[in-house]
């Protein structure tokens, strides 16, 4: 495991320069994201090809594709990107976050489908913009909330409470 801090007072932890740096996480998040985006987009295009290309079915297709990509993203990001152990708290936080970004993705997609001019690329452009919006929100919230590393102070506080319980 990466040590939590270097010389006291430096304000820089080894975690910031080690394998858990934001840059390393961003690279891993990008790799997972590309894979999940291809899976999501492929599912979306397949559903459209099978007749879900008219309203309201196009929104259902976008919702299904988002869920397929999201389920895969949780499993891969939990271990590969953030090296998290999981647990009910992280799963619950993840579900709340992705429920919110699900609404954003489907809403942006639907809005763009109704506002973009009718072209051969309209569905593709709407999907890319909706996915980009949701992905940006997801990385920030996954890093800061869902898979955030707990500080030693928080760990000590939890250990103290546990020892008081018996």
Neighbours of 29 (CB within 10 A): 22
Does residue 153 carry a pLDDT above 70? no
Say what percent of the chain tops pLDDT 70.
Answer: 77
Q: Parse the chain into domains and list their residue ranges.
A: 21-148
Q: What is the pLDDT of residues 12-28, one digit of tens each?
A: 344 444 455 888 888 99
What is the mean predicted confidence (pLDDT) over 102-113? 94
User: Angle at CA 117, nearest 5°, toward 115 and 122?
Assistant: 90
What is the mean predicted confidence (pLDDT) over 28-35? 92
Q: What is the pLDDT of residues 47-93, one digit of tens each?
A: 999 999 988 999 999 899 989 998 898 889 888 888 888 788 888 89
pLDDT reported for residue 6: 35
User: What is the rounded radius of gyration, in angstroms, for the C-alpha atoms of the chain?
Assistant: 20
- Round to whole Å and give the CA distance between 162 and 92: 22
């Amino acid at each position: 495991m990466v040590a939590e801090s270097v010389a006291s007072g430096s304000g820089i932890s080894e975690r910031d320069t080690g394998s858990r740096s934001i840059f390393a996480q961003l690279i891993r998040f990008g790799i997972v994201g590309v894979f999940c985006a291809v899976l999501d987009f492929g599912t979306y295009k397949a559903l459209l090809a099978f007749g879900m290309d008219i309203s309201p079915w196009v929104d259902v297709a976008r919702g299904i594709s988002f869920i397929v990509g999201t389920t895969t993203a949780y499993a891969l990001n939990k271990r590969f990107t953030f090296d998290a152990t999981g647990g009910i708290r992280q799963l619950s936080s993840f579900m709340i976050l992705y429920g919110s970004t699900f609404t954003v993705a489907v809403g942006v997609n639907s809005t763009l489908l109704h506002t973009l001019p009718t072209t051969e690329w309209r569905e593709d452009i709407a999907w890319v913009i909706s996915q980009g919006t949701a992905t940006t929100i997801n990385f920030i919230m996954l890093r800061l909330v869902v898979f955030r590393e707990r500080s030693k102070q928080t760990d000590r506080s939890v250990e103290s409470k546990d020892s008081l319980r018996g």
